[in-house]
Structure 1
Amino acid sequence: MWLIATGAVKEKIKFIHSVDFIEAEEAFFNFKGPMLIDDREKHKSKPHTVWFISETFEGRLLKLVIIPYIEEGLAVLRTAYEPSKEEKELYESTTQKKV
């Protein structure tokens, strides 16, 4: 599966969250699962928006929010940023995976 993003998303993550798209790609390819579905009403999409926490090659922890298109082999990046303490705790408690 390949990670893609619009120019607007690439600019947003770079200038608002200080994340280069290459870092998002690294975290995406380092990801070992599981993903969580974002089922909040304002974030609903079809297919579902999902998120996970993973590391870049340099060990930077990032939260990636994507829309996976499994049949097409694509994942569309919605955002990427360093997760808050609360997001890390939620991910760990829900997935039983230490980040």
Structure 2
Amino acid sequence: MKNLITSQSVLDHIWEKHQLRRVDVEECFLNHFESKYIEDDRTKNKTNPPTYWFISENHQSVRLKVACVFKDGHVYLKTAYPPNEVELSIYNNSK
């Protein structure tokens, strides 16, 4: 995914905490068929431009929550990790 921008610190974090690689995130974008993104409007997570998140599976059927920022035709990865039950419920019940 050419337009996915990942900092080394984010890549280190998702590997150390969740054993995830960039390719896992790329696969989630490829498998994200419904194109539903939820804006993260929590005060501590507000960004300009806004942070959005979605839940999708990689090619190994591992479900992940991916948080990113869209800016100037690029997608900036903020984090990725297995979603908890609350996040799954929010995502599944959103429009």
Alignment TM-score, normalising by the size of structure 1: 0.87
**Partner secondary structure for residue 63 of structure 1:** strand
**Partner secondary structure for residue 16 of structure 1:** helix
Q: CA deviation at 1:29?
A: 2.1
How high is the sequence identity, in percent, across the aligned residues? 33
Q: Is the 8 Å Cα contact of residues 3 and 74 (structure 1) preserved in structure 2? A: yes
Structure 1 CA distance, aligned partners of 2:9 and 2:25?
Answer: 15
Residue 68 of structure 1: aligned partner: 70
Cα deviation code 1:14-50 (max 9, x no counterpart): 0012211110111022212110000011111111100
Q: Is the 8 Å Cα contact of residues 3 and 28 (structure 1) preserved in structure 2? A: no
Q: Aligned pair in 2 of structure 1 residues 62, 14: CA closer, same or farther (>3 Å)?
A: same
Residue 86 of structure 1: aligned partner: 86
Residue 45 of structure 2: aligned partner: 43
Letter in 2 for 1:87: E
**Partner secondary structure for residue 83 of structure 1:** coil
Structure 2 CA distance, aligned partners of 1:38 and 1:81?
Answer: 15
Structure 1 CA distance, aligned partners of 2:91 and 2:4?
Answer: 21
**Partner secondary structure for residue 79 of structure 1:** strand
Asked if residue 26 in structure 1 is aligned to residue 55 in structure 2, the reply is no
Mind listing any 5+ residue stretches in structure 1 that lack a counterpart? none
Moved more, 16-25 or 74-83: 16-25
Q: Is the 8 Å Cα contact of residues 13 and 81 (structure 1) preserved in structure 2? A: yes
Q: Is the 8 Å Cα contact of residues 14 and 21 (structure 1) preserved in structure 2? A: no
> After the TM superposition, which parts of structure 1 deviate over 4 Å for at least 4 consecutive aligned residues?
none
Structure 2 CA distance, aligned partners of 1:85 and 1:66?
Answer: 20
Letter in 1 for 2:25: A
